[in-house]
Amino acid sequence: MSAVTDACNLMNNYTRWPIRLVKGKGNTVWDDQGKEYLDCTSGIAVTSLGHVPPQVTERLHQQLDQLWHTSNLFEHPLQEQLAAKLAQLSGLDRVFFCNSGAEANEAAIKLARRYQQKVKGEQRYEIITFRQSFHGRTLATLTATGQDKVKDGFLPLPEGFATVPYNDLPALSAAISPHTCAVMLELVQGEGGVLPADPQWVSAVAQLCAKTGVLLIIDEIQTGVGRTGSWFAYQQYGIKPDIVSLAKGLGSGFPVGAILAGEEVGEAFSPGTHGSTFGGNPLAMAAGLATLQVIEQEQLLQRVGELNRYLISRLEQIKESHPGKVTAVRGMGLLVGIELSQSAADVVSHVREKGVLILQAGPQVVRLLPSFVTTEAELDRLTDALDEAIAAL
């Protein structure tokens, strides 16, 4: 394993693994010592087509020779094409492009407030979110996040946010007031422990929002663009949000974020109300278009479903083989969590030593995020390493 030196000018805000990755292809990455790893993190749900997917690479190379940046003072044909595709896939009408998930959620918060105040003429500004949620690292999005650990040392936080228990309709109903602007919800809490929302509760939340005039924002930063087996997780819950935020898997590793909204809500952003210098740049748009094209042409949404069933069956076998050590297996598509009776850190470390990369999602949950082009043989390698690591607990 390569050694990581402490003599570094980077700020110390990441807990780094002792690995320097220098190359990736498909589902394999290599460190600077030549050791290879099976990547079942997808760069935290980003490289959904594997590393350096050829179709996206080719499209980016073409764009590199044409145009990198112009600013949003000019019309962008590629922005228009990607927006049209996202509108078609989502059933929503308007799209704003940015660079990351945090920026997308910031834009969603601003759009919701502006719609309520300028279009509806109501002094609504409060956003209700849920415990264990994760929405980003900016001041507004970390305030929206339902985890106190991300807020430590950043007081005072912005006003206008409230947090209630997940899957608890009475608590949400009690929190809604005349100042409530929107409810912001992850349908699978990825960072919070891979916790899927209860379908009946989600349906009731959507009805409650419609009844009270509260906008429903669905944070699909981690679940969107096919990760759960449909283009968007909300499509499996039978609801239609007012605003959706996207990032991570939209550009196959090239930074791109977006929010989608219905026509009436989307028109609340008028010239000068919001913007992004790099948002929607030609390279990001090329990556996004190519990514969606590959998922569609290669029928990868269906493939995600097949891989989910195979992976869950293998994990359930591990659970049965180690009574008391694995307490739950859950998730949607290729966002899967394994809840343990002990610390997940030891399992993650043990599996990494065996050349397989996985993640944590809280102290006792292992998070698996394989790419959409993973093979059953690679899932066997993953689950064999997990089986050995859990046996060693």
CB 51 within 8 A of CB 253: yes
Residue 248: active-site member: yes
What is the full DSSP assignment across 243-285? EEEE-GGGGTTS--EEEEE-HHHHTT--TTS---SSTT-HHHH
CA separation for the pair 344, 353 (Å, rounded): 15
- Which residue among the candidates 39, 130, 161, 219 is catalytic per the annotation? 219
pLDDT of 71 reads 94
Q: Say which of 96, 130, 134, 161 is annotated catalytic.
A: 134
User: 21-52+299-391, which class in CATH?
Assistant: alpha beta
Q: How far is CA 134 from CA 221, 281, 328, in A?
A: 10, 27, 21
What is the residue extent of each domain of the chain?
21-52+299-391, 55-297
User: How distant, in Å, are the alpha carbons of 97, 127, 136, 247, 311 from that of 276?
Assistant: 8, 23, 17, 15, 39
pLDDT at 3: 47
> Is 86 in contact with 235 (CB distance < 8 Å)?
no
How many CB atoms neighbour CB 18 within 10 A?
10
Residue with tokens 């049965």: 320
User: Domain 55-297 classified CATH 3.40.640.10?
Assistant: yes
**Tens of pLDDT, residue by residue, the chain (393 residues):** 444 455 689 999 999 999 999 999 999 999 999 999 999 999 999 999 999 999 999 999 999 999 999 999 999 999 999 999 999 999 999 999 999 999 999 999 999 999 999 999 999 999 999 999 999 999 999 999 999 999 999 999 999 999 999 999 999 999 999 999 999 999 999 999 999 999 999 999 999 999 999 999 999 999 999 999 999 999 999 999 999 999 999 999 999 999 999 999 999 999 999 999 999 999 999 999 999 999 999 999 999 999 999 999 999 999 999 999 999 999 999 999 999 999 999 999 999 999 999 999 999 999 999 999 999 999 999 999 999 999 998
- Is 219 labeled as catalytic in the residue annotation? yes
CA 39 vs CA 26, 42, 212, 236, 240: distances in Å: 9, 6, 44, 27, 33
d(CA 253, CA 256): 8
**pLDDT number for residue 393:** 81
Largest CA distance in the chain: 61
Write the CB contacts of 260 (distance below 8 Å, at least 6 apart in sequence).
86, 87, 90, 92, 94, 95, 243, 244, 246
Task: Work out the number of other CB atoms within 10 angstroms of the CB of residue 178.
Answer: 10
At residue 8, the pLDDT reads 84
Q: Considering only CA atoms, which of 192, 103, 81, 95 is closest in space to residue 145?
A: 192
- Of 248, 269, 319, 372, which one is the catalytic site residue? 248
